């Protein structure tokens, strides 16, 4: 028998006997020695940290719950740290918070003092509730970053670049809403409410806790309302709505905005409701415009800024001209309270 036939016979298996499985050592020998066929690489393990071809992270349901728990804990820790820092500035913070009440009482001819009804009332407000409210605004960028970090795994890799604009815009709008509520809505509404009993033998006695509860409702309510453009942008980013859909159904959105303004407004008059509704409508269309810019970016198109900027600049110059005319011809002056123009 020749050597080739002997090798063939030695390598042959009896009929009915299955070949032995190839071990990892034999695979390595074949790969190093060049013999045999290199087995295909094993599939990548599934679970957290696996990205698809578009960069979207795949996570199981339990991993999502664990991620949510981690983000909530980080949010609470950030708010707690900001609250501890706020405790160092309770006196100037309380001076800032009570100023609308003092101004409203003075404007209506009453004694500018708040009443303490219960022994623990002032302590709970100044040393507990007030630092937490201040911490919510101070820690809003950190909280919004945790919200983005929780949502971003469900976005494509190219859409995760919106992290910094989202955090800065959302935190800025939240703080801007709080300032609008403080300098405009809350001051005017409180002056109106305290003036209802003027001349009717009614002496207002505003307690510290009731005043602060109303203050918190307005500040947080208006701050959340100012997040409307960010919400619309996110819905567009997640392809839940489109700018054209929002424009077609804008009449329903405006109706909902006026209902929400009527609920948030601390007074029942129409003028005060308009103070809330008009900015909300403007923010609604700002959100639609931001979503439209996102759609143009997806379609690799550009907004005609060269044509739009002159129009916007013309409107701004017109408003500045009206303001200049009101100051020079009618003798109005700018003040840091609503309506910001007075004789």
pLDDT score of 111: 85
- Of 273, 288, 303, which one is at a domain's C-terminal end? 303
* Cα–Cα nearest to 84, from 38, 41, 39, 139: 139
User: Is position 198 within any domain?
Assistant: no
How many structural domains comprise the chain?
A: 3
Asked whether residue 272 falls in the same domain as residue 238, the answer is yes
Q: Are 47 and 60 in contact (CB under 8 A)?
A: yes
Q: Which of 49-53, 103-107, 226-230 has the lowest mean pLDDT?
A: 49-53
Q: Per-residue pLDDT for 61 more than 80?
A: no
266 with 246, same domain: the answer is yes
Asked whether residue 66 falls in the same domain as residue 94, the answer is yes
The verdict on 158 and 146 lying in the same domain is: yes
Average pLDDT of span 205-234:
88
Q: Residue 9 domain-assigned?
A: no
221 and 236 share one domain:
no
Q: CB-side exposure of 303: number of CA atoms within 13 Å? A: 12
Say if residue 299 is in the same domain as residue 253: yes
User: What's this model's pTM, rounded to 2 decimal places?
Assistant: 0.69
Assigned domain for 45 exists = no
Residue 234, domain member (yes or no): yes
Answer yes or no: do 282 and 272 share one domain: yes
- Assigned domain for 95 exists: yes
Domain assignment of residue 211, yes or no:
yes
Q: How many CB atoms neighbour CB 26 within 10 A?
A: 13
Both 132 and 113 in one domain: the answer is yes
Q: Is residue 4 part of a domain?
A: no
Q: Which domain holds residue 318?
A: 309-343
Same domain flag for 133 and 222: yes
Q: Is 185 found in the same domain as 134?
A: yes
Residues 67 and 159 in one domain: yes
Whether pLDDT at 51 is above 70: no
Q: Are 92 and 129 part of one and the same domain?
A: yes
Buried b (16+ CB within 10 A) or exposed e, 105-122: bebbebeeebeeeeeebb
Q: Is the model's pLDDT at 28 over the cut of 80?
A: no
Kindly provide the residue ranges of all beta strands, DSSP E only, lying in the chain, ordered along the sequence. 50-51, 57-58, 333-334, 341-342
Average per-residue pLDDT for the chain: 78
């Amino acid at each position: 028998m020749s050597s080739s036939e002997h090798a063939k016979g030695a390598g042959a298996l009896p009929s009915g006997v299955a070949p032995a499985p190839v071990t990892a050592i034999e695979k390595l020998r074949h790969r190093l020695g060049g013999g045999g066929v290199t087995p295909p690489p094993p599939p990548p393990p599934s679970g957290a940290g696996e990205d698809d071809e578009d960069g979207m992270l795949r996570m199981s349901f339990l991993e999502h719950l664990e991620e949510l728990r981690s983000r909530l804990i980080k949010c609470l820790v950030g708010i707690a740290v900001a609250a501890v820092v706020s405790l160092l500035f309770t006196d100037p913070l309380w001076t800032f918070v009570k100023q609308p009440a003092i101004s409203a009482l003075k404007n209506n001819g009453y004694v500018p003092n708040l009443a303490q009804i219960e022994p623990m009332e002032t302590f709970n407000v100044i040393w507990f509730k007030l630092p937490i409210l201040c911490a919510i605004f101070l820690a809003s960028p950190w909280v919004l970053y945790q919200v983005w970090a929780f949502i971003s795994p469900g976005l494509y890799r190219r859409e995760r670049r919106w992290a910094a604009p989202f955090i800065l815009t959302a935190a800025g709008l939240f703080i801007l809403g709080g300032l609008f509520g403080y300098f405009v809505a809350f001051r005017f509404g409180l002056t109106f409410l305290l003036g209802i009993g003027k001349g009717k033998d009614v002496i207002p006695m505003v307690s510290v806790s009731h005043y602060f509860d109303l203050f918190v409702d307005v500040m947080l309510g208006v701050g959340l309302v100012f997040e409307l453009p960010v919400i619309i942008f996110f819905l567009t980013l997640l392809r839940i709505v489109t700018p054209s859909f929002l424009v077609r159904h804008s009449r329903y959105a405006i109706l909902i905005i006026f209902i929400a303004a009527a609920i948030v407004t601390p007074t029942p008059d129409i003028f005060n409701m308009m103070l809330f509704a008009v900015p909300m409508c403007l923010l609604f269309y700002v959100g639609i415009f931001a979503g439209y810019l996102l759609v143009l970016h997806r379609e690799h198109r550009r907004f005609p800024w060269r044509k739009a900027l002159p129009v916007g600049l013309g409107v701004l110059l017109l408003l500045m001209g009206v303001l200049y005319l009101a100051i020079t011809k009618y003798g109005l002056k700018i003040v840091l309270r609503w309506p910001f123009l007075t004789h």
